[in-house]
Structure 1
Amino acid sequence: MTDAATGPAIDAVSDWQRLACDSVLLDGFHALKHAVRFGARIPVAVTTDRRKTLDLAAALAPDVRDTLDALLTEVPATTYTSLVPRPHPTAVAALAVRPSREANLEALARTPRTAPVVVLDNPRNLGNAGAVIRLAAGFGVTGVVMTGTLDPWHPTVVRAGAGLHFATAVERLAVAELPSGPVFALDPEGDDIRALKIPDDAVLAFGSERSGLSPDLRARGDHLVSLPMRPQVSSYNLATSVAMTLYHWSVTGGRAF
C-alpha cells in the first residue's frame, strides 16, 4: 500500500496507542498465530501486507486464517515500524489482553495436576525464559513460574516464546507462594534423573544461568536431581535443561498427547 494511512489504518493506530501500555505485544506472525489458537483476546492486529499475511496463514496455519482475516488491518510500513520496538521479518504485530493473575493462580493451584509446573528461580536471560515457555507449552505443562525480578511477560520473553504464553499459566511468584507438590530441584549434586520417575504433580525447579538455585528454593526441594553430563562440562543452557527434564517426565509416565 502507499505511505498514506487509510481510515481503518488510522483507527487501528489510535486503538494501538490507547491500549499499548496495558497490553501484551505479539511480535510477528507466529506469536499472533499461537495467541489466536490458545484463546487470547486480541483487540488490534496490524500488518504491512494483508494479502501476504493471509497467504502465509493459509499455508502454515489454515485453522486461524479466517480469524486473522477478521483481525488484521493493513498499515503503511512506516506506521508499523513506529508501533514496535524491533520490526519482525513477517511485518505483523498485535496487542493482546494479558490473562488475569487470579486466573493463572487458580490454574496453578488446581489439583490433581496432570502435568508438572516448571519454576525458573531468578532467571536472568529474557530469551532463555521465552524459550522455556515455548518448551513448556509444547509439553503441555500446567504452568511456568518465575521467581525474582524478571517479568515473564516482557516483550522479549513473549517474542522468544512465540506467543505461547497463552497456552499455559505464566506468573511471577515468591518461593513461599509456589504451588503445592513435590519439588524436584535440578542440581549437579542431585540423584541421576535417569533413575527417577517424575510424577505428574511435580514442581520442577531450575536455578539461574549464573548462580544456580537460591538457598530458599534449594531448601524447599524434596528431591535434588541431576542431569547426565560429561565430566569437565560446566553446565547446560537453561532451556536445554528444561527440555531434557520434561522429556524424561514424558517418557517415564507423563501424559500422552
Structure 2
Amino acid sequence: MTESASQAPPGPASLGAAGPAHRQAVDPVGVWRRFVGSSVLLDGFHALKHAVRFGAEVPLAVTVDRAAALALADELAPDVRETLDALLTQVTESTYTSLVPRPHPTAVAALAVRPSREVNLRTLARTPRSAPVVVLDQPRNLGNAGAVIRLAAGFGATGVVTTGTLDPWHPTVVRGGAGLHFATAVERLAVDELPPGPVFALDPEGEDIRGLKLPDDALLAFGSERSGLSADLRARADHLVALPMRPQVSSYNLATSVAMALYHWSATGGAPIKD
C-alpha cells in the first residue's frame, strides 16, 4: 500500500498520537470501504491481536466497545495493548454490523494488508529450512484450512501451501486461523510449483510415522478430507507416511492429522520453537 501523505488515511501511529478525540473524528465507513476490497478481514479481537503481534499493517480497526476490547488486551495481550489502543475506533453497533458479514462475539473487526506474495515465496523456497512446510493438497473445508494454519503457526512451521481451488486467504479461512496467517507464509501453488525439499505425503498405505524422523526441510503433504492425495501430489512424493490408526476407523480430521505429524516432527528432533 503506497500512498502520498495527503491521500493516506490515518494510520496506527497518527491515531495514537492524536488520541481518542481524533479516533472518533475518523470516518470509519469511508476508510473501510476504501480498503476492504484489497485487504484481509480480521474477525474478532483474537485475530486482530495475532495479526498485530506478528507485524501486520492494519489501516483500520473498529469496535462497538473500546473499553471492553482494551480490557481484553489488558487480560490476554498486554504486549500489544498500546498498539490496539492507538488502532481501535469505536463505532455504533449498526455501523459495525454493516461492515462485517458475520459479527464476532467480541464486536471487533479490522482490515490488514495481505503480506507480499513475493516475500512469502522467498520464505518458502529458502533452504536450508529450520521447520517443515505443510502442504494441503486440494483441501475443501475452509474451517479446516484455517485450523491448519493456526497449528502451523503454533509449531513454527515455515509455511502452509494449498493446491487446488481453495483460497487460503478466504475470510472464513482467516477467521479459522485467528489472524495467524501473519505468523507464517501462506500461499496457493500448483504441485509443480511446490518449494524444494523431500515430500512426506500422508497416506494409509505408507510407512508408520513412528519409525521415522521427519527432516526440518520436509514438505508434509496431506490429501483432501474426502478423496486423499491427488495423483499429481502422489507422483511428487518421496515418501508415503501413515499415522497410527485403529482398524475400521476411516480417517482423522485434517487438522488433527497435521497436528499429529507436526508434533511427531517436533518430538523427534525438530527445531525448537522460538519465543
Q: TM-score band, normalised by the shorter chain?
A: over 0.9
In 2, distance between residues paired with 1:7 and 1:140? 35
Q: Tell me, which stretches of 5 or more residues in structure 2 are unaligned?
A: 1-21
Q: Is the 8 A contact 2:133 2:161 kept in 1?
A: yes
Identical pairs, percent: 81
In 2, distance between residues paired with 1:171 and 1:7? 34
In 1, distance between residues paired with 2:147 and 2:197? 24
In 2, distance between residues paired with 1:210 and 1:128? 12
In 1, distance between residues paired with 2:227 and 2:23? 53
Which residue is equivalent to 2:82?
Answer: 66
- Out of 197, 205, 208, the residue aligned to residue 213 of structure 2 is 197
- Out of 39, 52, 57, the residue aligned to residue 68 of structure 2 is 52
Q: Tell me, which stretches of 5 or more residues in structure 1 are unaligned?
A: 1-5
Q: Is the 8 A contact 2:132 2:157 kept in 1?
A: yes
Please list, as runs of the form range in 1=range in 2, the aligned pairs for 1:225-236 lying within 5 A after superposition: 225-236=241-252
Q: In structure 2, the residue corresponding to 1:185 is in which secondary structure?
A: strand
In 1, distance between residues paired with 2:226 and 2:192? 22
Given residue 40 of structure 1, which amino acid in structure 2 is its aligned partner? A
Which residue is equivalent to 2:36?
Answer: 20
Which residue is equivalent to 1:3?
Answer: none
Which residue is equivalent to 2:259?
Answer: 243
For residues 184 and 7 of structure 1, do their structure 2 counterparts lie closer, same or farther at Cα, with a shift above 3 Å needed? closer
> How far does the alpha carbon of each residue in 1:135-154 deviate from its partner, in whole angstroms, 9 at most, with x for none?
00000000000000001000
Which residue is equivalent to 2:160?
Answer: 144
In the alignment, structure 1 residue 177 sits paired with structure 2 residue 193: yes
> How far does the alpha carbon of each residue in 1:204-234 deviate from its partner, in whole angstroms, 9 at most, with x for none?
0000001000000001000000000000000
Q: In structure 2, the residue corresponding to 1:171 is in which secondary structure?
A: strand
In 1, distance between residues paired with 2:36 and 2:268? 43
Structure 1 window deviating more from structure 2 (12-21 vs 168-177): it is 12-21
For residues 239 and 9 of structure 1, do their structure 2 counterparts lie closer, same or farther at Cα, with a shift above 3 Å needed? farther
> How far does the alpha carbon of each residue in 1:225-253 deviate from its partner, in whole angstroms, 9 at most, with x for none?
00000000000000000000000000001
Q: Is the 8 A contact 1:175 1:216 kept in 2?
A: yes
In 2, distance between residues paired with 1:117 and 1:190? 19
In 2, distance between residues paired with 1:112 and 1:7? 45
> How far does the alpha carbon of each residue in 1:6-37 deviate from its partner, in whole angstroms, 9 at most, with x for none?
98366121100110000000000000000000
Given residue 108 of structure 1, which amino acid in structure 2 is its aligned partner? L
Given residue 217 of structure 1, which amino acid in structure 2 is its aligned partner? L
In 2, distance between residues paired with 1:175 and 1:7? 46
Q: In structure 1, the residue corresponding to 2:27 is in which secondary structure?
A: helix
Which residue is equivalent to 2:52?
Answer: 36
For residues 7 and 250 of structure 1, do their structure 2 counterparts lie closer, same or farther at Cα, with a shift above 3 Å needed? closer
Given residue 115 of structure 1, which amino acid in structure 2 is its aligned partner? A
RMSD of aligned residue pairs (Cα, Å)? 1.0
Which residue is equivalent to 2:143?
Answer: 127
Which residue is equivalent to 1:82?
Answer: 98
Q: Is the 8 A contact 2:23 2:89 kept in 1?
A: no
In 2, distance between residues paired with 1:232 and 1:143? 33
| Alignment coverage as a number of residue pairs | 252
- Normalised TM-score (structure 2): 0.90
In 2, distance between residues paired with 1:85 and 1:248? 38
For residues 252 and 85 of structure 1, do their structure 2 counterparts lie closer, same or farther at Cα, with a shift above 3 Å needed? same
> How far does the alpha carbon of each residue in 1:88-118 deviate from its partner, in whole angstroms, 9 at most, with x for none?
0000000000001101001001111000000
